[in-house]
Amino acid sequence: MKIPEMRTPFARAVVPVAAGIGFFVVLGFVLWGIAAYLADKGPQVNLGRSEFTVGRVDQVSDAISKNGPLLFQGLKGDQADRSLIVDHSGVNDLQGWAVYQAIPKDKPDTCFVSQQPKTRIFTDCDGRVVSVEQLRLATGVIISFPNQQYLALTLPGASVSTTTPVTTSS
């Protein structure tokens, strides 16, 4: 079969341009259809696991007794207001745990603390020295002990949520 020839200069100029425009129109509709299909599914965001394993419970409690509470900068996000402080008191490794925000109880949400290295002492935004007990309890964070060997924190936004402060008594 012989390919039809375009005999006039007008046909030789217009037909390839029209075919190109037609190709891009069809491509646009295909891409629009794909975008519409994906938009109907809704957002599926997974920024990581909601459970953070701190470490072996005996090693973590020993580290806290020697060096003070553990400060996890930006654990719940990349901002200082999302930092968590894990503390342990008592002799039983599975009891006496508490999780705090890096904000004093009596200060606004913009007043963050910094820890003095290897101590239980923190300094707030005004230069005031505060103890770990003077910090806000973290709400929604669940402490668990997988296999009774590890310390794990389930962070807000997980499938399991709570609004009560997290503490365990010794």
Distance between CA atoms of residues 142 and 152, nearest Å: 8
Task: Give per-residue pLDDT as tens, 66-104.
Answer: 999 998 886 554 455 568 899 999 889 899 999 999 999
Q: DSSP per residue over 36-98, as a string? A: HHHHHT------S-SEEEEEEHHHHHHHHHHH-PEEETTTTSSSGGG-EEEEE-SS-TTS-EE
User: Tens of pLDDT along 22-70?
Assistant: 999 999 999 999 988 888 776 666 556 678 889 999 999 999 999 999 9
Q: What is the β-pairing status of strands 84-88 and 97-104?
A: antiparallel
Question: Does this model's pTM top 0.75?
Answer: no
